[in-house]
């Protein structure tokens, strides 16, 4: 009996979010994984020539079996699977792009361990939103998966990712720096310490976990805020480095143990790289424009595919192009010069590049002093979990019709200067504060972002908004 990809995927309940297909582990059966693989690969075969397909995973308990199903489907197509084991998503993407082959990352990123996902990369980089639609509508036929293959790990992706940065910087870059690595269950936890040490840093590993930890770099938990403060005080770190589950979003703390917002980290990285033009999601901090450091800044919907889609337009006008997200992932849209070396483009989220460029900028000072030189705009965000997407969309739709009525219900007395519906509802108030409501693209969550000239005010705004929405 043959199965039709479109039918299998339609009945699975798995949907594409801002970056990849996401769903409950129970929804990712062997045949659902196979349907995604067949739909993806048969869809791009008319455009690309390849004989191999790379696969890697994060540390979720469900990821190995999903990878086995993907590998089985790759073999059904007469292609050769290359399995890289547990590595960061950018390590897999970088190696596959250098080899000019497609790849599949089994990861749910930051979402809880009872969920998982698949990220797809063509030989030239991340799939587009149009590719996502084509995958879900694919009429590829395949046989059910009854037996799962044994996976044999290849170390090449891990090695080439390390070499990408070890060869870029002087071996003395981090001499005198003491760095803590919050390892938890990150996919890159086994490579960061050796890489930082090779560049001269004193490294201490922290918080390694045998259980999967869903770190969200956009909504850092109260526990992780306290941990960073305590670790910094105990060890006297110059910085603390961590990532989300699949290692494509950085989480960085300064010498005081204060976690940096991802868009501030991205801004500092882009500035240090002398980037000409940026594409960033609408949720990013307005310090980007206020810094006047870039020839052009284009705002997009939230999600790396939208950022990447702008790179082609910007590259036609500017020599160096990049993007980043509020979650910290940095996307390099063009080759750039770093000292005497050329860093190849990597148009997918990467956690290591922004951290290295921050440390480069802070070689002779502290991270907090580097941050203090930026326009002082502070962003805070939080989320309501187990909050249906339908309810979130209803709230936003009603607010678009009567925005001032929403503010009244939220207890906000300021008037509205402007509204942006690029992605969710982003309102700029008369006192220059910003409130942004948006349903998550990956899980049943409602996110709230607030921006102000004071971190205290930004935090209070988010708490006030979410509290009143619950009421």
Q: How far apart are CA 153 and CA 24, in angstroms?
A: 26
Six token digits for residue 130: 């149009």
Tell me what pLDDT residue 228 has: 97
Domain boundary among 156, 181, 200: 156
161, part of any domain: no
Q: Is residue 162, in this structure, part of any structural domain at all?
A: no
What's the pLDDT score for residue 17? 84
* Contact predicate 241/255, CB 8 Å: no
349 has a pLDDT exceeding 70 = yes
Per-residue confidence (pLDDT) for residue 439, from 0 to 100: 85
Is there a domain that residue 60 lies in? yes
pLDDT band at 216 (very low <50, low <70, confident <90, very high): confident
Say if residues 266 and 279 touch (Cβ distance below 8 Å). Answer: no
Provide the pLDDT for residue 58: 97
From the list 19, 109, 185, 291, the catalytic residue is 109
Nearest in space to 258 (alpha carbons), one of 229, 285, 238: 229
Q: Which whole-number Å values give the CA distances from 176 to 78, 251, 359, 365, in the listed order?
A: 52, 21, 11, 12
Position 235 scores a pLDDT of 98
What pLDDT score does 385 carry? Answer: 85
Q: Do 52 and 195 reside in the same domain of the chain?
A: no
Residues 433 and 360 in one domain: no
- The pLDDT assigned to 206 comes to 98
3-state DSSP call for residue 130? helix
Q: Is the pLDDT of residue 200 over 70?
A: yes
The reply to whether 273 and 209 lie within a common domain is yes
Out of 337, 352, 372, pick the residue that ends a domain: 372
pLDDT in the model for residue 31: 98
The pLDDT score that the predictor gives to residue 442 is 62
Q: Of residues 445 and 32, which shows the higher confidence score? A: 32
Burial environment of residue 222 by CB neighbours within 10 A (0 to 12, 13 to 18, 19 or more):
exposed
83 in the same domain as 222: no
State how far the Cα of 17 lies from the Cα of 107, in Å rounded to an integer.
Answer: 13
State the pLDDT at residue 121: 97
Tens-place pLDDT, residues 263-291 = 999 999 999 999 999 999 999 999 999 99
Decide if 455 is inside a domain.
yes
Tell me the pLDDT tens digit for each residue of 305-341: 999 999 999 999 999 999 999 989 999 999 999 988 8
Rounded to the nearest integer, the mean pLDDT of the chain is 94
Supply the range of the domain harboring residue 466.
378-470
N-to-C CA span, the chain: 52
Number of domains in the chain: 3
Identify whether 198 is a catalytic site residue: no
- Asked if 114 and 208 sit in the same domain, the reply is no
Residues 249 and 361 in one domain: yes
Query: pLDDT, tens digit, for every residue of 90-148?
Result: 999 999 999 999 999 999 988 888 999 999 999 999 999 999 999 999 999 999 999 99
Task: State which of 110, 126, 156 marks the end of a domain.
Answer: 156
pLDDT of residue 458: 94
- Is 349 in contact with 304 (CB distance < 8 Å)? yes
Same domain, 230 and 339: yes
pLDDT in tens, 420-471: 989 999 999 999 999 999 887 667 889 899 999 999 999 999 999 999 988 8
């Amino acid at each position: 009996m043959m199965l039709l990809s479109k039918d299998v995927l339609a009945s699975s309940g798995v949907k594409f979010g801002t970056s990849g297909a996401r769903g409950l582990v129970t929804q990712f059966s062997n045949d659902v994984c196979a349907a995604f693989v067949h739909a993806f690969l048969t869809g791009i075969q008319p455009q690309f020539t390849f004989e191999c397909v790379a696969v890697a995973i994060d540390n979720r308990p469900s990821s190995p079996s999903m990878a086995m199903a993907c590998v089985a489907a790759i073999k059904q197509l007469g292609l050769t699977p290359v399995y890289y084991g547990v590595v960061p998503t950018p390590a897999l993407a970088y190696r596959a792009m250098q080899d000019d082959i497609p790849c599949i990352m089994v990861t749910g990123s930051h979402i809880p361990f009872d969920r998982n996902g698949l990220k797809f990369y063509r030989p030239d980089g991340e799939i587009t939103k149009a590719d996502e639609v084509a995958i879900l509508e694919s009429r590829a036929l395949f046989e059910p998966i009854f037996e799962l293959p044994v996976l044999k790990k290849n170390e090449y992706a891990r090695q080439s990712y390390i070499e990408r940065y070890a060869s870029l910087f002087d071996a003395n870059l981090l001499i005198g720096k003491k760095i803590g690595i919050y390892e938890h269950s990150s996919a890159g936890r086994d490579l960061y310490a050796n890489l930082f040490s090779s560049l001269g840093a004193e490294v201490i590993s922290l918080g390694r976990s045998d259980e999967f930890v869903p770190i969200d770099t956009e909504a850092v938990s109260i526990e992780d805020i306290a941990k960073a403060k305590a670790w910094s005080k105990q060890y006297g770190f110059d910085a603390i480095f961590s990532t989300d589950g699949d290692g494509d979003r950085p989480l960085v703390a300064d010498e005081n143990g204060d976690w940096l917002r991802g868009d501030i980290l991205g801004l500092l990285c882009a500035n240090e790289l002398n980037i000409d033009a940026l594409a960033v999601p609408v949720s990013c901090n307005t310090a980007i424009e206020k810094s006047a450091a870039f020839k052009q800044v284009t705002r997009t919907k939230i999600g790396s595919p939208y950022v990447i889609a702008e790179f082609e337009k910007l590259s036609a006008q500017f020599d160096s192009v990049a993007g980043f997200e509020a979650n910290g992932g940095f996307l390099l849209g063009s080759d750039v010069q770093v000292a005497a070396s050329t860093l190849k483009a990597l148009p997918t989220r990467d956690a290591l590049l922004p951290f290295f460029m921050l440390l480069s900028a802070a070689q002779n000072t502290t991270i907090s002093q580097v941050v203090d030189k930026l326009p002082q705009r502070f962003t805070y965000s939080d989320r309501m979990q187990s909050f249906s997407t339908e309810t979130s969309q209803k709230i936003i739709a009603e607010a678009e019709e009567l925005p001032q009525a929403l503010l009244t219900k939220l207890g906000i007395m300021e008037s509205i200067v402007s509204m942006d519906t690029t992605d969710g509802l982003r309102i700029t108030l008369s006192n220059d504060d910003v409130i942004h409501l948006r349903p998550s693209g990956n899980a049943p969550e409602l996110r709230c972002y607030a921006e102000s000239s004071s971190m205290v005010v930004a935090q209070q705004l988010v708490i006030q908004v979410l509290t009143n929405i619950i009421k």
